[in-house]
Amino acid sequence: MRVADAAPRRALAAATLVALGALGAFLAGHDPATPGTYPPCPVRAATGLLCPGCGTLRALHALLHGDVAAAWAANPLTVLATPLMLWAVVTLARYAATGRWASLRVPTPLPPRLRAPTLLVALLAWMVARNVVG
């Protein structure tokens, strides 16, 4: 998405934050464990396998209620990624407020060329593990 001017971009960032807030409030009030409200995971619906992201909604719902243990049981990946997600929201909010864009970086000892392959292998390993071990 390309927006020529900075002002519309900042408005878009602000609108995104409002939308994310509304979705968060909705998710807090609607338990994903009860079927019917949210669409099922397409990977699971098609193959019956748990994908690396299965349980994200349940985990976020639990986190919004302060239940870290339940969130971890639903999807540990979500819990691990939550600090980064919160920092991303701060970055977006700062951009909407000041127009200054701060890049989002995760400190890692891995050299740049190994980062993406490591991540993909880890995600696949996680998918295999959760399907095999249950």
Residue closer to other proteins by CB (options 38, 72) is: 38
Helix (H), strand (E), coil (C) string for 69-93? HHHHHHCHHHHHHHHHHHHHHHHHH
**Among the residue ranges 63-71, 80-88, 125-133, the one whose residues contact other proteins (CB under 8 A):** 80-88
Closest by CA position to 78, among listed 115, 123, 44: 123
Q: How far apart are CA 102 and CA 20, in angstroms?
A: 20
Q: Does 112 bind other proteins (CB under 8 A)?
A: yes
126 binds other proteins (CB under 8 A): no
113: buried, middle or exposed (CB in 10 Å: 19+, 13-18, 0-12)?
exposed
Site residues for other proteins, 1-30, by CB under 8 A, read 1-2, 16, 19-20, 22-23, 26, 30
Contacts (CB under 8 A) with other proteins, residues 35-54: 37-39, 53
Rounded to whole angstroms, the Cα distance separating 125 from 60 reads 22
Binder to other proteins among 33, 84, 121, 124 (CB under 8 A)? Answer: 84
Interface residue list for other proteins (CB under 8 A): 1-2, 16, 19-20, 22-23, 26, 30, 37-39, 53, 56, 77-78, 81, 84-85, 88, 103-106, 111-113, 115-117, 119-120
